[in-house]
Amino acid sequence: MRIRKSWRNVILVILIILGFLYVNNSSVFTKEREGEPLLLAHRGIGQTFPMEGIESDTCTASRIYIPEHAFLENTIPSMKAAFDAGADIVELDIKPTKDGQFAVFHDWTLECRTNAHGSVKDYTMEQLKNIDIGYGYTADQGATYPFRGKGVGLMPSLSEVLAAFPDGEFLIHIKSQDAGEGELLAAYLAQLPEERLNRLTVYGDDAPIGELKSRLPALRVMSMDSLKSCLISYIGAGWSGYMPSVCRNTQLHIPEKYAPYLWGWPDKFLNRMDRINTRVILVAGDGGWSEGFDTAEDLKRLPKNYSGGIWTNRVDVIAPELTIKK
C-alpha cells in the first residue's frame, strides 16, 4: 500500500509539473498579439534563383530565374523599391574598400556578378563606381545577359545608403571573419547620432561582431555565438519564464523548422523577447542559405496571426499578400 501511495505521489508531482509547463508556455492563455508581421527584405529586392545545389562558392548570378523586375540586390534603387513595397527593414552586405570606406556588396570576389576581378578591398570606392555590377546575370546559361551595362555606378557605399534613407531601418551584414572589420565599422558607426544607431542592427561572424559589441555595447548585434548562447540558455530555463541575460538586446534568426520547439512559440515566445528588446525573425526552412518566405504559398506556413519578423527575398510579392489577408 505504501508503494502504491508513493507512486501516486510521484505521478501527481509529474502531472503538476506538466501542467505548469503547459500553462506557462502555451499561447492558448496568452493575449492575442496585434499587428502585422515585420518584413525584413533580404538585400532589398533582387533577382532570385533556385536554391537546390547551392554551395558557398556558387555563382548565383549565373542561375537566376527569368527576371520579373529590373532591380539588382544591394543597390539604392532596390532598397527604395523594398521600402516602397512595404519592407520594415532592409538587409544589406558590406565590405571594406581600399580607401577605408564600406561598399555595399555581397560576394567574396567580384568575378561572379561584375566585369572586374579580385575583391572589393582591392579597389577604392570611386573605382568601384565604374564597375558593372549587372554584368554576370543570366537566366539562360549565358545566352543573354539582361542586366549587362545597366549596373555601372550602382554599387553604393554604406554612407550613401544611410544618407538616402535617413529614417530607414537596416540590418547590416559584415561579410568577414576579421575582427578588424568590426573595429572599423565601430569607428564609423560611433560618429552617428544615437537615434540613427537605434535603427541599425549588425550581424555576422563571431570575431567582428564581438569587437563591434565591445566598442558599442548599446548597439543591437547578432552572431552565431550570440544566437546559440541565447537559444541554448532559453531552452534550459525559458520554460520557467526566466529570460537569460544573453538574450537581451539582440536579434534572433529562427529557422521555421526549429521554431515550434521553443518554449511558448509563437506568441508567448515573441512577447518574452519583446520585453527584453530582442527582435525575432523567422527564416524559411532550416535557415541554411537565406531561404525566405517569398510566395503566397510560403505564407500559409506561418503560425496563425503571426506578428514577428519574416525574412523574405521578395517583399514585393508577399507584402500585397499580407494586405489581402487583413
HEC secondary structure over the chain: CHHHHHHHHHHHHHHHHHHHHHHHHCHHHCCCCCCCCEEEEECCCCCCCCCCCCCCCCCHHHHCCCCCCCCCCCCHHHHHHHHHHCCCEEEEEEEECCCCCEEECCCCCCCCCCCCCCCHHHCCHHHHCCCECCCCCCCCCCCCCCCCCCCECCCCEHHHHHHHCCCCCEEEEECCCCHHHHHHHHHHHCCCCHHHHCCEEEEECHHHHHHHHHHCCCCEEEEHHHHHHHHHHHHHHHHHCCCCHHHCCEEEEEECCCHHHCCCCCHHHHHHHHHCCCEEEEECCCCCCCCCCCCHHHHCCCCCCCCCEEEECCHHHHHHHHHHHC
Note whether residue 209 is domain-resident.
no
Residue 39 lies in a domain: no
Cell of 105: 556588396
In a domain, 230, yes or no: yes
Domain count, the chain: 1
- Which pLDDT score, from 0 to 100, does residue 26 have? 62
pLDDT at 325: 57
Q: Would you say residue 253 lies in a domain?
A: yes
pTM: 0.92
List 238's β-bridge partners, or say none.
none
Residue 1 pLDDT: 57
pLDDT of residue 5: 62
The pLDDT tens digits along the chain (326 residues) read 566 666 666 565 555 554 545 455 666 666 777 788 999 999 999 999 998 888 888 999 999 999 999 999 999 999 999 999 999 999 999 999 999 999 999 999 999 999 999 999 999 999 999 999 999 999 999 999 999 999 999 999 999 999 999 999 999 999 899 999 999 999 999 999 999 999 999 999 999 999 999 999 999 999 999 999 999 999 998 888 889 999 999 999 999 999 999 999 999 999 999 999 999 999 999 887 778 999 999 999 999 889 999 999 999 999 999 876 55
9 within a domain of the structure (yes/no): no
77 in any annotated domain:
no
Q: Would residue 285 count as lying in a domain?
A: yes
| Residue 261 located in a structural domain | yes
**CA angle at 263 for the pair 261 and 265, rounded to the nearest 5°:** 75
Q: What range does the domain containing 265 cover?
A: 223-325
